[in-house]
Amino acid sequence: MSHIKEIGDKIASLLSIKAELAIIDADGGLIYSSLSPEAEEIARRLAKAAMTIWDVGDYQVKKLSKTNLLIYKMTDRLAIALNSYEKEGIIILSAKRLEEKLREDFKTMEKMMKKIKVPAPPPPPPPTPAPKPVTETKPVEVEAVKVAKPVEEKKEVEEVAEKRWEWPIDIGVNLVEEAKKKGIELRLIGGAAIRIHLSPETAELYKKLRGIEGSYFAHADFAPSFAALSEQEKEIKKFFESKGWEFDWRIHQLIRWFGGVENRHVFRGETMDIDVFYDAIDLNHKVPFKDRINIHPLTLSPTDLLLIKLQRVKFSDEDVKDVIVLLKDLHIGEDDSPRTINAKYIAKLLADDWGFWYTATTNLKRIKEDIKNYDQLSEEDKQVVNARVDLLLKYIEEEPKTKKWKKRAKKGTKKKWYREVEL
């Protein structure tokens, strides 16, 4: 372990900026750290969630109270966290320089970690008045930058921990993880779930496309909604009540009376409401997920997130943008591996439901038309999205259709092919 510490010290000494540093393994274990306890907790959670879906070189920047926290994947099993007052671009450049200069050191560390089991770090101690300042070092191949001041007041340290609760996506992730500890399966859906699957670059594009000012995490569209299992309904009600959300039985009765989505529960909170859907998203068309809920640890699979968008008869501009960013970042394939849209599964599902097939293919074709109007996308991005739409449509077209599909196809749109949803 002393050699691992030497590598950690070497990495810290080569930093071109004033920053706190941590090295984190794929299980969220801390190998080396000079982060404050609050920043450590956030960094470990983000790294653990992202390592399974990121490629080497992928990164995410989280804005804390007064600093930027960067998580950067260095190898298949290792990531670094840098917490600094510097601008986002400078921190990213610093991390990229480290990757270039210390690629072999990280590979060596990764090999050592396979032989040495690093114990999980103990729970973080109560907030301290100030995080340890990082030793000032010489810059490496980048312009000199302004040295950041360490956090000096307890109030500022506490703000780092408190700020995260203002972000709906963080609340959603925390609820998924807390439920898991109690044996409850919850998965994020909607805008917050889509954001988790995007690269930092595409996340910024997403923000521009949606016209969201400030943090997209704080936008109403990203209030967390969840997929869950009906067999755990009682446990889920108790869980949310223990977290400060109250089941709205009045809305539930209205849904039943007016033909709404009966497998949907609404939980009321002081700052935001939460929707929970059981076993399927059954809106204009049905997207079943009971047997697919465990594909991804935090969200429904990207494939199911895409289907939830494509089942909408009133396919809004916001839905178009959501589908565009998913198809920009995720590959078309035939399984549910990370960062993949399972075209085979989609084609098979639609081959048994003409109505869903008609709505989904109509919406996919609209993507190809509407994407021309988005100047925020480069021509290369548009070509990538269009190519993936074409490939997905090809899978859908070539999948053999069932007798049920063929029989319903004869009636076409003369008969309503979708379910009206009132609530």
Give every CB contact of residue 341 below 8 A, 6+ residues apart in sequence.
302, 303, 306, 326, 327, 330, 331, 332, 333, 388, 392
pLDDT at position 368 is 96
Mark which of 133, 165, 197 sits at the end of a domain.
165
pLDDT at position 76 is 86
Q: Report the alpha-carbon distance of residue 186 to residue 189 in Å, rounded.
A: 10
Confidence bin at 423 (pLDDT 50/70/90): low
Same domain, 16 and 68: yes
Same domain, 194 and 148: no
Tokens encoding 201 = 């670059």
Query: In this predicted structure, which of 38-52, 67-81, 159-173 has the lowest mean pLDDT?
Result: 159-173
Mark which of 144, 165, 186 sits at the end of a domain.
165
pLDDT at position 105 is 76
Number of domains in the chain: 2
160 versus 363: the higher-pLDDT residue is 363
The number of CA neighbours under 13 Å toward the Cβ of 153 is: 5
Is residue 423, in this structure, part of any structural domain at all?
no
Domain with 182, as residue range(s), is 167-414
pLDDT digits (tens, 9 = 90+) for 192-219: 899 889 988 898 898 888 876 544 344 4
Same domain, 155 and 256: no
Is residue 381, in this structure, part of any structural domain at all?
yes
Examine the pLDDT at 164 and tell me if it is beyond 50.
no
Same domain, 259 and 276: yes
| CATH code, 68 | 3.30.450.190
Tokens encoding 37 = 């306890």
Express as a percent the part of the chain with pLDDT over 70: 80
Q: List phi, psi (to 5°) of 263.
A: -90, 20
Is residue 420, in this structure, part of any structural domain at all?
no
> Long-range contacts for 288-296 (Cβ within 8 Å, ≥24 apart)?
289/187, 289/227, 290/229, 290/230, 292/336, 293/185, 293/187, 293/227, 293/228, 293/229, 294/185, 295/336, 296/53, 296/187
pLDDT digits (tens, 9 = 90+) for 270-319: 777 899 999 999 999 999 999 999 999 999 999 999 999 999 999 999 99
Is residue 419, in this structure, part of any structural domain at all?
no
pLDDT digits (tens, 9 = 90+) for 328-354: 999 999 999 989 999 999 999 999 999
Angstrom CA distances, 316 to 309, 357, 366, stand at: 10, 18, 11
pLDDT at position 353 is 98
Closest among 95, 69, 74 to 15, alpha carbons compared: 95
For range 146-155, the mean pLDDT:
37
Same domain, 288 and 148: no
Closest among 152, 178, 418 to 298, alpha carbons compared: 178
Same domain, 161 and 172: no
167 versus 139: the higher-pLDDT residue is 167
Is residue 128, in this structure, part of any structural domain at all?
yes
Give every CB contact of residue 87 below 8 A, 6+ residues apart in sequence.
68
Same domain, 117 and 188: no
Confidence bin at 260 (pLDDT 50/70/90): low
Is residue 346, in this structure, part of any structural domain at all?
yes
Which helix H or strand E contains 43, and what residues bound it?
helix 37-50
3-state secondary structure 220-275: HHHCCEEEECHHHHHHHHHHHHHCCCEECHHHHHHHHHCCCCCCEEEEECCCCCEE
Query: In this predicted structure, which of 123-137, 165-179, 186-200, 253-267 has the lowest mean pLDDT?
Result: 123-137
Q: Report the alpha-carbon distance of residue 189 to residue 354 in Å, rounded.
A: 25
Residue 45 backbone class (left: φ over 0; alpha: ψ -120 to 50; beta: rest): alpha
Mark which of 141, 165, 189 sits at the end of a domain.
165
Same domain, 350 and 268: yes
Examine the pLDDT at 392 and tell me if it is beyond 50.
yes
β-strands 246-247, 264-268: how paired? antiparallel
Is residue 380, in this structure, part of any structural domain at all?
yes
Sequence length of the chain is: 423
pLDDT at position 410 is 97
> Long-range contacts for 22-27 (Cβ within 8 Å, ≥24 apart)?
22/80, 22/81, 23/78, 23/79, 23/80, 23/81, 23/109, 24/48, 24/71, 24/78, 24/79, 24/80, 24/81, 25/77, 25/78, 25/113, 25/118, 26/51, 26/52, 26/76, 26/77, 26/78, 26/79, 27/120
Same domain, 208 and 151: no
pTM recorded for the entire structure: 0.62
Same domain, 149 and 193: no
**Count of CB atoms situated within 10 Å of the CB of 123:** 7
Query: Strand pairing partners for 201?
Result: none
Is residue 121, in this structure, part of any structural domain at all?
yes
Same domain, 48 and 125: yes
Same domain, 94 and 218: no
- Residue 392 · residue 332 · CB < 8 Å: yes
Examine the pLDDT at 149 and tell me if it is beyond 70.
no
